[in-house]
Each structure stands twice: as C-alpha cells, then as structure tokens.
Amino acid sequence: MDSRIIVSLDFATAASAAGLVRQLGAEATFYKVGLQLLTAAGPSVVRELVDGGKRVFLDLKLLEIPSSVAAAVSAAGQIGASMVTVHASGGSAVLRSAVEAARRFPELKVLALTVITSMNDESLREVGVGSTVAEQVLRLARLAAAAGCHGVVASPLEARLLRETLPPGMLIVTPGIQLAGDSEKSDHARFTTAAQAIDAGATHVVVGRPIARAPNPADAFAAMRAELSALR
C-alpha cells in the first residue's frame, strides 16, 4: 500500500466510483472526492469510503467569507474527511478560519489551493495577476504557512520550489499526474509523472484518468506504485 497516491473519483455517479474502489481493492487507501461526485451523490459517498477504511481528500476548493468556509470545513470533519481544500486567494482571514474550524478534528488537514493546474502565466494575466505562476504559487503558499495550514496544493512543477521554501512538515499535494509514457491529452497545463513529483518534494500525488480510465485500473495503480517504490 502507498498512501502517497490519492486516486481521483471523478465520476457522475456513486455506483461508478464504487466500481473503481472495488477494482483497486485493499491496495488503494486514499481517494479524492471532488465537486462532481459530491454534487451528484452527496456526502454519503464520503461516509461510505471512510466506513470502508479509506481516507478521503475532499476537494471542495472553498472560496467564501470566513464564517462560511469555517462551517464547510466543520462539515468535512464531521463526515470523516482527512483533507479539505480552501482557496489561498481568499486571503489570510479565510485560511485562519479554516484552520481554526479543523482543530476539532485531529485527523483533518487543511490544504491551501494555490494556482489550479489548468492555469498558466497567460491565464493569470487574464484575471489581473501580473505574477508568473511560480511567483503566485509561492506568494500564496507563504500566506498559507503563516495562517497555519497543514499543506498546499500546487502543480508538480512547483513542488521543488515549495519544498525548498515551506516548513519541513507541510504537505505538498500535486494534481496533474500522468503515467510515464502517457501521451493522452490532459486538462492540466502543468503536469509530470508521479515519480517526478515525489522526487521533487511532493508528499502526495492526485491521479485521475491515468488510473480511472485505464483498460485495467488495478494494473495502472500497481505500475504507479512500482514507479514510486523505485525512489526509495
């Protein structure tokens, strides 16, 4: 088992998600539930994963006033999530409110989302941010660290820079992961393989299509585990 691999359950139904969980079996212990599945299936999908002994990365990408964010983080803790995401661009008051709400749940980690992996320098300029992606990621990551967040979410291309900048204990969770040799088009503008991300300093990788859409998801998961095992 390798808890560094978080498998994304990007499905429209709870039945489809449960099917992948069954295929991966005991070897996969950590799953991401995002907005699509949560909206379609409700919080029961998280509770069922937790009751089945799995950990859940609840990718809510919260961006609201502090009181609303705190309430949502508390709700995430109550249904047993292990990680929850908050947009760092909401500012320090939002991040602090999330951290404070999570204190009631010792297993719940607040992750500050820096710059989503579909964005590049041009995308940032489009929304009025003059910094490069790397500069903006670092700015928001420092804000998250100062607010007491347990970790950050960023693309694997920023993992090394973050590891050199952030306190040693902070989590670095990286979406935008592909299997070595995979040429399939991705929604991520900034991506690498799992081994490259972990080698650069990421603590966890979030993997969607390369496992979920593989002809044999269990084989794809095993290949990624072997890839990471070779780093040890």
Positions marked catalytic = 61
Rounded to whole angstroms, the Cα distance separating 7 from 208 reads: 6
Q: Collapse the DSSP code of 52 into the 3-class scheme (helix H, G, I; strand E, B; otherwise coil) and give the result.
A: coil
Strand-strand pairing, 151-153 and 171-174: parallel
CB 64 within 8 A of CB 72: yes
- Please, which residues bridge with residue 109 across strands? 83
Count of other CB atoms within 10 angstroms of residue 223:
16
Between helix 92-102 and helix 66-78 the angle, nearest 10°, is: 30
The label of the residue with tokens 């009751």 reads 51
Rounded to whole angstroms, the Cα distance separating 130 from 65 reads: 25
Rounded to whole angstroms, the Cα distance separating 226 from 232 reads: 10
Phi first, then psi, for residue 5 (nearest 5°) are -95, 115
Phi first, then psi, for residue 68 (nearest 5°) are -70, -40
List, in sequence order, every beta strand (DSSP E) within the chain. 5-8, 30-33, 55-62, 83-87, 109-113, 151-153, 171-174, 177-178, 192-193, 204-207
CB 75 within 8 A of CB 83: no
